[in-house]
Amino acid sequence: MSNKEWLRQLSALTVLPYYEQHKIFGDKSGALIGTHDGYIVAVGLGRADGNHAAVKMLLRFSKAPDPQRIKQALEPVKGKFKVVTDESTAALVRTYSFGKPNAASIAEDLQNLLAALKTVASQISGKCEECGRAEQQVLLLNNVPGYYCSGCQVQLRQKLDAAAVAYENLETNYFLGVLYGVVAAGLGSIAWGGVAYLAHRIFLWGAIIIGLFVGKAVVKGIGKVTWPARILIGVLTTASVLFGDAIFYALSIAAREQAVFSVALKAVLANFWEIERKSDSGVISILFALVGAGIVMYSTRKPAFKAIFVPLGTPASTLSSAAAK
Ligand SMILES: [Zn+2]
């Protein structure tokens, strides 16, 4: 069954409108978004836990002082879902490997979850989440359905714009960024060389982990994400892997020739490119280093400070059209 058909079926079972155009869970099939007994409910398909296919659900309620209590109430009825709660949202994820779970079973899970939610959380519908003024329309704020009056929409936008400007104006400390980055890269080299020596192989994800580690250190030192910071992360990641190779060669030589490690390292560094070129793993290392650096540079983004409000519009499939099928 296609994702769209599955969602249409679930829409008929749950009486939740189906919006093909709102891909809030990542999948292009869209999502069901609506209200049930005063709670906002959204269900759709997406990815979770390292790219596993998953059914995803959001249940939204009035701000609660103790999200942990809501999690506890949902735990016994969550079925195969995993639950995470914050003060106004319970996010549920259920991964699957062979075919989507039966739509009827998901509808049943939803019913049980809502029944449990009613016992611990108050309804959210009918009022602005910020100021409490009457507001009937659900809309999406950065892909999360909620209630926001027009005045609070403007304010939220301004607040985030101000946060973006404040971030731009943060002081940068490149000296500290380089210092932290070099230390992190050095530790990365030792780990890379050590693992290669002990395991007799290298791993692409090793380069990515080093890159993430170096990236964290550089951004922490500099204070924010900038273009020079990204370039520094790429260069240091590559250097870290290559120096890690040098450590690996030196360890191997020192063991074989019973030489002192520092002497072996010096000799390796003096002939580094030649050794690296001749060794099969050397070429792969350079490739891995560049791929790792590229991925990490790409993924090191500035934090997003944007409030995007999208009205729900017209559902692609209403209950009546789904039932008529
Ligand atoms: Zn408001």
Bridge partners, residue 56, by sequence:
44, 93
Bridge partners, residue 46, by sequence:
26, 54
Please tell me the distance from the alpha carbon of residue 261 to that of residue 259, in angstroms, as a whole number: 6
Q: How far is the CA of 141 from the centre of ligand 1 (A)?
A: 13
């870290």: which residue's tokens?
Answer: 240
| Mean pLDDT of the chain, nearest integer | 91
Three-state secondary structure call for residue 54: strand
In one letter, which amino acid is 225?
Answer: V
Query: Would you say residue 214 has pLDDT above 80?
Result: yes
Which of the 8 DSSP states describes residue 127? B
Q: How far is the CA of 89 from the centre of ligand 1 (A)?
A: 18
**Ligand 1 ion local residues (Cβ < 5 A):** 128, 130-131, 133, 149, 152
Bridge partners, residue 83, by sequence:
92
User: For residue 323, what pLDDT is reported?
Assistant: 46
User: For residue 23, what pLDDT is reported?
Assistant: 95
User: For residue 180, what pLDDT is reported?
Assistant: 97
Backbone angles phi, psi at 189, to 5 degrees: -60, -45
Cα–Cα–Cα angle for 140, 141, 143, rounded to 5 degrees: 65
H or E segment and range at residue 80: none
Query: Would you say residue 217 has pLDDT above 60?
Result: yes
Binned at pLDDT 50, 70 and 90, residue 270 comes out as very high
Q: How far is the CA of 92 from the centre of ligand 1 (A)?
A: 27
Q: What is the pTM of this model?
A: 0.69
Q: How far is the CA of 90 from the centre of ligand 1 (A)?
A: 22
Cα–Cα–Cα angle for 6, 8, 14, rounded to 5 degrees: 100
Work out whether the CA dihedral 91, 96, 99, 105 comes out positive or negative: negative
Q: How far is the CA of 150 from the centre of ligand 1 (A)?
A: 7
The DSSP result for 176-220, as a single string, is HHHHHHHHHHHHHHHHHHHHHHHHSS--HHHHHHHHHHHHHHHHH
Please tell me the distance from the alpha carbon of residue 40 to that of residue 116, in angstroms, as a whole number: 14
Read off the pLDDT of each residue in 144-165 and give the average, rounded to a whole number: 93
- Mean pLDDT lowest among 78-82, 206-210, 318-322: 318-322
Binned at pLDDT 50, 70 and 90, residue 319 comes out as very low
Structure tokens at 239: 């250097």
pLDDT, tens only, 5-21: 999 999 999 999 999 99
Q: How far is the CA of 169 from the centre of ligand 1 (A)?
A: 29
Query: Would you say residue 318 has pLDDT above 70?
Result: no
Backbone angles phi, psi at 178, to 5 degrees: -65, -45
Binned at pLDDT 50, 70 and 90, residue 284 comes out as confident
Are 156 and 211 within 8 A, CB to CB? no
User: For residue 201, what pLDDT is reported?
Assistant: 80
Q: Which of 8 and 306 is assigned the larger pLDDT?
A: 8
């099928």: which residue's tokens?
Answer: 325
Binned at pLDDT 50, 70 and 90, residue 172 comes out as very high
Binned at pLDDT 50, 70 and 90, residue 22 comes out as very high
User: For residue 25, what pLDDT is reported?
Assistant: 96
- Quick one: what percent of the chain has pLDDT higher than 90? 72
Query: Would you say residue 149 has pLDDT above 60?
Result: yes
Q: How far is the CA of 299 from the centre of ligand 1 (A)?
A: 34
Query: Would you say residue 91 has pLDDT above 80?
Result: yes
Q: How far is the CA of 130 from the centre of ligand 1 (A)?
A: 5
Q: Which of 143-147, 197-201, 212-216 has the highest mean pLDDT?
A: 143-147
Are 60 and 69 within 8 A, CB to CB? no
Read off the pLDDT of each residue in 55-74 and give the average, rounded to a whole number: 95
> HSE on the CB side for 10, CA within 13 Å?
34
Q: How far is the CA of 147 from the centre of ligand 1 (A)?
A: 8
Read off the pLDDT of each residue in 55-62 and give the average, rounded to a whole number: 97
Structure tokens at 46: 């997406």
């060389």: which residue's tokens?
Answer: 193
Q: Which residues contact 33 (CB under 8 A, 6 or more apart)?
A: 16, 17, 19, 22, 24, 40, 41, 42, 138, 140, 145, 312
User: For residue 296, what pLDDT is reported?
Assistant: 83
CA-only gyration radius of the chain, Å:
26
Q: Which of 101 and 296 is assigned the larger pLDDT?
A: 101
Q: Which of 193 and 297 is assigned the larger pLDDT?
A: 193
User: For residue 34, what pLDDT is reported?
Assistant: 96
Structure tokens at 303: 């934090």
User: For residue 156, what pLDDT is reported?
Assistant: 93
Q: How far is the CA of 310 from the centre of ligand 1 (A)?
A: 16
Please tell me the distance from the alpha carbon of residue 234 to that of residue 212, in angstroms, as a whole number: 10
- Mean pLDDT lowest among 46-50, 190-194, 303-307: 303-307
Query: Would you say residue 325 has pLDDT above 60?
Result: no
User: For residue 114, what pLDDT is reported?
Assistant: 97
